């Protein structure tokens, strides 16, 4: 018998104070693996949990299990730099990510879990006059689609981000930026835990320490998954195993256009507020840094992938140095701050940089993968769209372009123009 977690509110804090620690209940329950489910979701990260939640909430499919090899939220959802935005160039992407951003705006209330959506702005820095046409192309596409974007010159940028001091002499001068004000940050753990709690409350089973090792099939359909806790029958299977999708491909015997790469992030010691926005810096010579300040005060820094396949979740030090150099180039005053720790996630990098939500090989097996750098910011839209796909059998318009066949047909969604290489060559 599941006991739902308590409803949260300021009043509930007061009641807990009066009752004691026993007042609270586990966020998610249902750790007993049943024999059969309508849908088995593999991976209790953001996308898996959101998909399970929407299956139950939007489509009334409650016999759902989310099977997780390690712990809820232990994967990339808990390792990213918490940035959310929808300022992508291509319409197939910006409408999708905008759907996610709009959902993030109300997600805290919807899940009754404070996800700390902070629309503090995402600032894509321009480093020469030649950058403006490229940024403008993106910004204008966004504005036509009804998504907010602002092109700032140096003077406006100086007012918006005082810590930046754009007129300072730099190797690559900062001349302006493309800004999305509604973008910003969200507390990543809260998203995973919030969805897990809400899904569990709707009847979804969340099973940790349960690794899916194989798939049982008959003809063109999957019938069951083989797990470390036994065989589980499934009406449909959704793989949301970012960072291990390549291995899923191996399990299914299907090569995929995905390479698994490592993405580092790091945080400094906490200081009083100094940066109230997200800075994105991409400079010649493969220099990049994403800089924001967490609500606890630490500067959260990240860059691009290390550049070679890795499952180690431990980044190469020379890549970390590169990101730190880029950071200090943008905000030299950060030089005095101390790096406390760094960590890494394992990313599915697709051969065009955009995700894959599609059937794979069997008519009831779905892949929700290939998120590259855009996994965290996509979670709410991905969950809703993927659930709809699984429940109805056809992909909703929003994700139609994320099909697996696009690589063969040429309908690529290559935002930066790097081609079939996750690494910028």
Name the helix (H) or strand (E) containing 138. helix 131-144
Binding-residue total with another protein (CB under 8 A): 152
CA 93, CA 83: separation in Å to the nearest integer? 16
Burial of residue 111 (number of CB atoms within 10 Å: 0-12, 13-18, 19+) = buried
Single out the residue of 212, 222, 287, 401 in contact with another protein (rule: CB under 8 A): 287
Part in contact with another protein (CB under 8 A); list of ranges 34-42, 56-64, 212-220, 273-281:
273-281
| Binding of another protein by 15 (CB under 8 A) | no
Single out the residue of 361, 391, 396, 400 in contact with another protein (rule: CB under 8 A): 361
| Binding of another protein by 331 (CB under 8 A) | yes
CA 345, CA 407: separation in Å to the nearest integer? 25
Site for another protein in 108-127 (CB under 8 A): 108-109, 112-120, 127
To the nearest 10 degrees (0 to 180), the angle between helices 46-59 and 188-201 is 30
Q: Which residues 6+ apart lie within 8 Å of 234 measured at CB?
A: 36, 37, 38, 39, 40, 222, 223, 224, 225
CA 406, CA 413: separation in Å to the nearest integer? 9
Residues in the chain: 425
| Binding of another protein by 411 (CB under 8 A) | yes
Short-list 381, 177, 189, 372, CA closest to 291:
177
Single out the residue of 33, 38, 396, 407 in contact with another protein (rule: CB under 8 A): 407
Part in contact with another protein (CB under 8 A); list of ranges 39-47, 221-229, 303-311, 385-393:
303-311
CB of 232 to another protein, least distance (A): 22
CB of 17 to another protein, least distance (A): 4
Q: What mask of x and - would describe binding to another protein in positions 69 to 108, judged by CB under 8 A? A: --xxxx---x------------x----------------x
| Binding of another protein by 216 (CB under 8 A) | no
Q: What mask of x and - would describe binding to another protein in positions 176 to 215, judged by CB under 8 A? A: -------------xx--xx---------------------
CB of 39 to another protein, least distance (A): 21
Part in contact with another protein (CB under 8 A); list of ranges 45-53, 211-219, 314-322, 371-379:
314-322
Part in contact with another protein (CB under 8 A); list of ranges 40-48, 225-233, 266-274, 370-378:
266-274
List the beta bridge partners of residue 284: none
Site for another protein in 44-63 (CB under 8 A): none
Single out the residue of 214, 230, 393, 420 in contact with another protein (rule: CB under 8 A): 420
CA 51, CA 93: separation in Å to the nearest integer? 19
The one-character DSSP state at 335 is: G
Single out the residue of 211, 295, 363, 397 in contact with another protein (rule: CB under 8 A): 295
Q: What mask of x and - would describe binding to another protein in positions 366 to 405, judged by CB under 8 A? A: --------------------------------------xx
Q: What is the DSSP string of 377-404?
A: GGHHHHHHHHHHHHHHSS--GGGGGG-T
CA 227, CA 364: separation in Å to the nearest integer? 18
Three-state SS for 410? coil
Short-list 203, 248, 229, CA closest to 39:
203
CB of 118 to another protein, least distance (A): 6
Three-state SS for 180? strand
Short-list 159, 184, 157, 160, CA closest to 173:
157
CB of 59 to another protein, least distance (A): 25
Residue number with CB closer to another protein (134 or 391): 134
Q: What is the DSSP string of 142-165?
A: HHHTT---EEEEHHHHHHH-GGG-
CB of 371 to another protein, least distance (A): 15
CB of 331 to another protein, least distance (A): 8
Q: Which residues 6+ apart lie within 8 Å of 81 measured at CB?
A: 265, 290, 292, 300, 301, 302
C-alpha gyration radius of the chain? 22
CB of 92 to another protein, least distance (A): 12
Part in contact with another protein (CB under 8 A); list of ranges 53-61, 210-218, 229-237, 252-260:
252-260
| Binding of another protein by 22 (CB under 8 A) | yes
Residue number with CB closer to another protein (61 or 299): 299
CA 269, CA 276: separation in Å to the nearest integer? 17
Pairing of the two strands 36-42 and 230-239 = parallel
CB of 81 to another protein, least distance (A): 15
CA 412, CA 352: separation in Å to the nearest integer? 6
């Amino acid at each position: 018998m599941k006991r739902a977690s308590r409803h949260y509110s300021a009043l509930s804090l007061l009641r807990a104070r009066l009752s004691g620690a026993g007042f609270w209940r586990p966020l998610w329950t249902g750790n007993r693996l049943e024999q059969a489910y309508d849908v088995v979701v593999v991976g209790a990260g953001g996308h898996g949990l959101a998909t399970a939640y929407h299956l139950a909430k939007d489509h009334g499919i409650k016999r759902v299990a989310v099977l997780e090899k390690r712990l809820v939220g232990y994967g990339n959802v808990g390792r990213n730099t918490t940035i959310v935005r929808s300022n992508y160039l291509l319409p197939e992407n910006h409408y999708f990510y905008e759907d996610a951003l709009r959902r993030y705006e109300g997600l805290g209330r919807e899940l009754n879990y404070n996800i700390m959506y902070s629309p503090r702005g995402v600032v894509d820095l321009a480093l020469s006059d030649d950058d403006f046409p490229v940024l403008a192309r993106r910004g204008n596409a966004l504005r036509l689609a009804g998504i907010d974007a602002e092109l700032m010159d140096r003077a406006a940028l100086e007012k918006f981000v005082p810590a930046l001091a754009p007129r300072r002499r730099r190797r690559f001068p900062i001349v302006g930026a493309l800004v999305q004000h509604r973008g910003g940050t969200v507390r990543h753990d809260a998203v995973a835990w919030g969805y897990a709690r809400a899904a569990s409350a709707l009847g979804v089973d969340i099973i940790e320490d349960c690794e899916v090792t194989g798939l049982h099939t008959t003809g063109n359909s999957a019938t069951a998954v083989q797990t470390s806790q036994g065989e589980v029958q499934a009406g449909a299977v959704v793989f949301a195993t970012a960072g291990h999708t390549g291995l899923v491909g191996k399990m299914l015997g299907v090569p995929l256009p995905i390479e698994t790469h490592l993405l580092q992030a790091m945080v400094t010691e906490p200081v009083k507020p100094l940066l109230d926005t997200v800075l994105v810096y991409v400079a010649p010579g493969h220099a990049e840094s994403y800089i924001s300040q967490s609500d606890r005060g630490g500067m959260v820094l990240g860059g691009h992938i290390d550049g070679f396949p890795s499952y180690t979740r431990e980044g190469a030090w020379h890549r970390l140095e590169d990101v730190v150099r880029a950071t200090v180039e943008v905000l030299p005053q950060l030089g005095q701050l101390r790096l406390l720790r760094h960590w890494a996630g394992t990313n599915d990098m697709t051969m065009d940089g955009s995700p894959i939500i599609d059937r794979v090989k069997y008519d009831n097996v779905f892949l929700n993968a290939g998120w590259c750098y855009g996994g965290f910011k996509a979670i709410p839209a991905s969950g809703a769209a993927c659930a709809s796909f699984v429940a109805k059998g056809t992909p909703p318009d929003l994700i139609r372009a994320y099909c697996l066949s696009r690589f063969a047909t040429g309908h690529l969604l290559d935002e930066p123009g790097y081609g079939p290489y996750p690494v910028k060559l």
